[in-house]
Chain A
Amino acid sequence: MSKLALNLKSLQKAGEKSDHKFEIRDYLRLDLFPHFLCPGCGHGIALRALLWAIHDLDIELDQLAVVSGIGCSGRLSAYIDANTFHTTHGRPIAFATGLKLARPDLHVVVITGDGDCLAIGGNHLIHAARRNLDITCIMLNNEVYGMTGGQVSPTTSLDRYTTTTPLGNQEPGFDACALAKGAGATFVGREVTLQTTALKNLMQEGLSHDGFSFIEVISDCTEIYGRKNELGSSPEMVLSQKRSILPKFDGTAVDKPFRAGNWDTGVLVREDRPEYYKAYRKHCHKVLGTAAVKK
Chain B
Amino acid sequence: MELAERLLMGDRRAAARLISMMENKDPEAQEIMRQLYSQSGKAYVIGITGPPGAGKSTLTDKLVKHVRKTGAKVGVIAVDPTSPFTGGAILGDRVRMSDLATDPGVFVRSMGARGHLGGISEATSAAVKILDIYGAEYIFIETVGVGQSEVDIVKNSDTTVMVSVPGLGDDIQAIKAGVMEIGDVFAVNKADRDGANRTAREIEMMLDFSHADWRPPVKMVVAVDSKGIEELFAAIEDHRHYMMEDGKFMLRRAENARNELLEMVKSRIVEQLLNHDVKAERVEQLAMDVATRVVDPLTAAEELIQSVL
Are A and B interaction partners?
Answer: no
